[in-house]
Structure 1
Amino acid sequence: MSESFDVPTVDISAYVTDASDESKAAVARALDEACRTVGFIQIVGHGVPTAVTDGLAQAMDDFFGQELEAKKAWKRPAKENRGYSPPKSESLSYSLGVDPVTRMNDFFEAFNIGSSEADFPGFVDATGDYAANTWPDTPGFEERVTTYFAEARRVAYTLQDAFADALGIDRAVFGAVSDHPINVLRMNNYALPPGSIELGADLTGMGEHTDYGMVTVLWADRVEGLQVLGRDGGWHDVMPAEGALLINLGDIAARVTNDEWMSTLHRVKPPIVNGTIKRRRSAAFFHDWNADSVIHTLPSILEHSEPLYAPVTVAEHVQAKLRGSRAGVKNTAAEREQARVTSAAR
């Protein structure tokens, strides 16, 4: 791995505080550079109170700290993308059509909530992507998680405005396709009971994958494990600075920009300390646009390049990826991302 790999840090406070146009333009330029060169960014000045992220972490601890059978009571059908996912029930590499070492091998467990049909008055869910949430009876869980969800959503929309500015387009272009988005918060816990692993095996915390939407807002522990695929074909360790949020682009951003911006390939490898997997937590907020919107490259970009992707609806794209990761049906529509994975150093 190259020691020169670096995740840029961008202070977005100019957008959070509605500062001068000049200050916002400087932030937009910094984001544009990061999106073109890395696709993974640390942001500070995001305005999310520490008390909110602490509350999220406590809610995750309270839920994931229960016995497995108690957590399984909150499991939902995979197609609904809500509720609890037990360890080894998914394989994210299938979302790219890449075979994992062992089928459905990712050992993380997760709990998902997201935007529901009821969140958008007058909207009718025609695709099944806006299922109602399941809330476990863990005291304080719903309140703490929904508080963080609202903050992460605000950050995602703030970044979307900054992205529009960076690309030189009217913010209304992105706003028109995100008035009833498939926003999902996935809370992840990377831990296994002692004795449940074979040391020396090719263990997978979360297989290599790209995220599906426009932008992901990630809160994560400052624990080893997260790796990003660099332009050099190598995997590089990433750890958030204290108080920072990690931001990565998803497939929508890559398709909209015709790969001028990078849909970041990443994975989680389990850190093993003294023969034990060190626990790691993260919470990824996926901003995935409206299910019925069509993902296509911006006309301004096609003025100087040929399209690399065929138009597809958000629902079609997301469901193909979910059938891979959660149902084990290899995604055959991710050729460009798959090629990046297979050419990378393992």
Structure 2
Amino acid sequence: MATETAATTQLRLASPNGIITRTVLKSPLRDALPSEIPIIDISPIFSPSLSERQAVAQQVRAAARNMGFFYIKNHGIPEDVTQDAYEACLAFFRQDMETKMRATYENARWDNGYRAPDTQRLNPYEGIDVRESFSYLYDPRYDPTVGEDGIKDIPEEVKQHLHNEDYPWEQTSNFPRLKETMVRHIGECLKLARALTRCFALSLGLEEGMFDEKVRYPDASYGLNYYPPITQKATTTVLQDHDDGGDGERVSIGSHTDFQLFTILWQDSHGGLQVLNKQGQWLRARPVDGTLVVNLGDCMQRITNDAYVSTVHRARNYSGSERVSIPFFWGFGLHETCSVVVVAEGEERKYEDVKCDDWVRRRIEGMLELGKLEESVEES
């Protein structure tokens, strides 16, 4: 699988530029330092004061150029909204398999619904992910800025890229609280994501509303991840403290980068999120009470001409308990164009314009290519 030397291993990844490898240090896992993944109080982004909003933007800029990961506190999502979504999530996944499979994404028109255990391989080189999940793509009916009344005003060129459907809710009608809590949480995530988008624009020295139109009808998705504890070798010190990913151990979710602008992640108290720094060392991004994790995606790296960083990450749940995470993926509408918006003095523009729909397709094709390569290696 992975090619090893005495001190390193090679990790294969899908990327916007095809399959790449990263050299990973076989050194002990450690907690990320505040200088690596800082905690940023973002409450001033809701302030009427431009200078206060700019002050937060400068902190975001520093984090985006360094690791591309940071925690946010005072983010505006009510605690009870998140707690309700978390409790409903656990209750859903604790149901019997037959009940959950009624909502399988395989019967959906779009990529909405439930994924069973042992069916996902985000990075095929690391095996099958030890997780179940439930996902729901952006639906303008649940967007506070659109709603049922605004559907009629959506342009036709936008509608062809929207993937709303009622299938997941129809198939979980035995448990209506799932829809109730998810829709409420989605609405809060949409409001926060738009505020953060304006913050990122300021961080780049752009007009604050530069991206407003591009995220009017975003490419967004909401997910529930359920990670049973990994028991295979999980009690060994070698695995926990010298985690290199090259010895056949199981992963909760494989090593990857995200596709879009950024991801907003809520994680429970059990931990498991790991981030690969520029030096090739895995760092623990431990849960911090009252915060959300924000990480940048490949599209953000592209439009900033590589000034901002899309960082490799994964999850491994060795806590001994079930773990839940709730990611919200955020990007420009699929009908929009992804263009480089800033170029540093003395640099050249590295990337051509690309339609956002084509960009996502390219990233999905890259993951499929990685899977095919792994299959060919296994067969040879």
* Bucket of the pairwise TM-score, normalised by the shorter protein: 0.7 to 0.9
Matched residues in 2 for 1:302 and 1:21: separation? 24
Matched residues in 1 for 2:109 and 2:58: separation? 38
Matched residues in 2 for 1:331 and 1:169: separation? 39
State which of 98, 101, 110 in structure 1 corresponds to 2:126: 101
Q: Give yes or no for contact 1:320–1:331 (8 Å, CA) kept in 2.
A: no
Q: Give yes or no for contact 1:42–1:240 (8 Å, CA) kept in 2.
A: no
Q: Give yes or no for contact 2:40–2:70 (8 Å, CA) kept in 1.
A: yes
Deviation at 1:15, TM superposition (A): 1.4
Larger radius of gyration: 2
Deviation at 1:215, TM superposition (A): 1.5
Deviation at 1:114, TM superposition (A): 2.3
Report the equivalent of 2:119. 89
Partner SS state of residue 33, structure 1: helix
Letter in 2 for 1:216: T
Distance verdict in 2 for CA 1:209–1:79, change over 3 Å = farther
Matched residues in 2 for 1:74 and 1:4: separation? 38
State which of 186, 192, 195 in structure 2 corresponds to 1:158: 195
Q: Give yes or no for contact 1:127–1:291 (8 Å, CA) kept in 2.
A: no
Q: How does 1:328-343 map to 2 (within 5 A)?
A: 328-330=368-370
Q: Which runs of 5+ in 1 are unaligned?
A: 94-98, 333-346
Aligned-pair Cα RMSD in Å: 2.4
Matched residues in 1 for 2:311 and 2:32: separation? 18
Letter in 2 for 1:109: E
Fraction of identical pairs, as percent: 27
Q: Give yes or no for contact 2:126–2:254 (8 Å, CA) kept in 1.
A: no
Partner SS state of residue 80, structure 1: coil
Report the equivalent of 2:13. none
Report the equivalent of 1:14. 44
Distance verdict in 2 for CA 1:117–1:320, change over 3 Å = farther
Matched residues in 1 for 2:351 and 2:253: separation? 26
Q: Give yes or no for contact 1:203–1:270 (8 Å, CA) kept in 2.
A: no
Deviation at 1:164, TM superposition (A): 0.6
Q: How does 1:40-79 map to 2 (within 5 A)?
A: 40-77=69-106
Q: For residues 6-30 of structure 1, what are the alpha-carbon distances to aligned partners after superposition, in whole Å with 9 as ceiling and x for unaligned?
A: 31111110112x2422221211111
Matched residues in 2 for 1:80 and 1:324: separation? 20
Q: Give yes or no for contact 1:323–1:331 (8 Å, CA) kept in 2.
A: no
Partner SS state of residue 168, structure 1: coil
Q: How does 1:160-199 map to 2 (within 5 A)?
A: 160-191=197-228, 198-199=232-233
**1:110 lines up with 2:133 in the alignment:** yes
Q: How does 1:311-322 map to 2 (within 5 A)?
A: 311-322=353-364
Q: How does 1:99-248 map to 2 (within 5 A)?
A: 99-102=124-127, 105-116=128-139, 120=151, 121-124=153-156, 128-133=161-166, 134-135=168-169, 136-137=172-173, 138-191=175-228, 198-199=232-233, 201-248=248-295
Q: For residues 200-238 of structure 1, what are the alpha-carbon distances to aligned partners after superposition, in whole Å with 9 as ceiling and x for unaligned?
A: 751011011111111111111121210011111111001
**1:251 lines up with 2:262 in the alignment:** no
Matched residues in 1 for 2:308 and 2:362: separation? 22
TM-score by length of 1: 0.83
Letter in 1 for 2:41: D
Q: Give yes or no for contact 1:114–1:185 (8 Å, CA) kept in 2.
A: yes
Partner SS state of residue 330, structure 1: helix
Report the equivalent of 1:308. 350
Matched residues in 2 for 1:227 and 1:79: separation? 33
Report the equivalent of 1:80. 110
Moved more, 259-268 or 118-127: 118-127
